[in-house]
Amino acid sequence: MNYDLSPDEQALYDRVKDFADTVVAPAAYEYDTKRRLPLEIIAQMGEMGLFGLPFPEEVGGQGGSYFDLCLAVEALGRVDQSIGVTLEAGVGLGIMPIYRYGTPEQRERFLPDLVAGRALAGFGLTEAKAGSDAGATQTTAVLDGDEWVINGSKQFITNSGTPITKLVTVTAVTGEQVRPDGSVKKELSSIIVPSGTPGFEVGESYDKVGWHTSDTHPLRFTDVRVPAENLLGARGRGYANFLQSLDEGRIAFAALATGAAQGCLEEALRYAKERVVFGEPIGNNQHIAFKIARMQARVHQARLVWHDAARKMDAGLPFKMEASLAKMVSGEAAMDNARDATQIFGGYGFMNESPVARHYRDSKILEIGEGTTEVQLMVVTRELGLVA
């Protein structure tokens, strides 16, 4: 695989990095304390075409690649993970399922605003008793004439309650399927629920450890009625289709984590050169220098693994194991670099206005969201043929 960026890819990364440094970073602490998604920044990202990067021009996209999207997510994640994940989830979980599995009518209805960044969409999979075990889903959808009637709840759903959220796609039990051995399993399907549909209630925003600017809510569905044509993809393929979207999303999530690890490295390196103790910069202390060298190694490794996964995905090659490796390696790199950067900053690193303090709070979810580290290990061992 070629790990060099093309001139166009480098130009894209530089453009988003400049935007992150001049627009996102100066506002990050303010919005973090307000715990509010800055819609004016999201609008600018839409005008830059970031939400349309991996989609063809005929649906309003930029005609780029998934790799392009990941470059943008990494550049944003350097300075503000909340903004980075808003883009990552907005595309990977919001737009991509509709683009991949939607009918022509669904794509025509929803894609223009989503791809342009004028609207956001969420994907409701996780429930109180169904996260890694999505087969435990309890939300139901019953076909009543030409309408689905949905009842149940979801939790931890990103981009689900903003003023510009247009829809949430939810997984629901729509019946039962008989396996070849005669056993019965739940039939899971995906259904589009537009915002404002009667009975669709968005709960209060969570009080989270980190990602304060990112929009995250619990959802409740009480006799929610939507047209039968809001079924997304084939009936009974909801979980399978989501797994494909999740594999892809893990690559962008890895790029986000790599950006976070890079941001911590940059802050630690700057501070180590500027902070003078006992007459010399602390970076002259071998212990500090070695710590930063290890931070650089983690960033380099994390970037290589997500580049590898993204290149394989764009080339149409198998990438399931590579996506899990990228997500696991980069998530750990972000958390380790955040911890080391905070230690290097000392007391200043414990102050919330410090970027490394925000990364320290934000990075833990990178080992949990879109599949925990343990889930990634399960995927890798199965791909290696070690677990049935």
Q: d(Cα 74, Cα 292) in Å, to the nearest integer?
A: 20
Q: d(Cα 145, Cα 280) in Å, to the nearest integer?
A: 77
Secondary element (H or E) of residue 218: strand 216-227
Residues 6+ apart with CB under 8 A from 195: 165, 166, 167, 168, 202
Nearest Cα neighbor of 187 from 245, 139, 126 is 139
Nearest Cα neighbor of 157 from 74, 217, 67 is 217
Q: Which amino acid is present at 384?
A: L
Catalytic positions: 370
Q: d(Cα 231, Cα 170) in Å, to the nearest integer?
A: 10
Are 134 and 242 in contact by the 8 Å Cβ rule? The answer is yes
Are 369 and 250 in contact by the 8 Å Cβ rule? The answer is no
Secondary element (H or E) of residue 345: helix 320-345
Are 349 and 357 in contact by the 8 Å Cβ rule? The answer is yes
Q: At what angle do helices 320-345 and 373-383 cross, to 10 degrees?
A: 150
Residues 6+ apart with CB under 8 A from 77: 84, 85, 255, 256, 257, 258, 259, 260, 262, 263
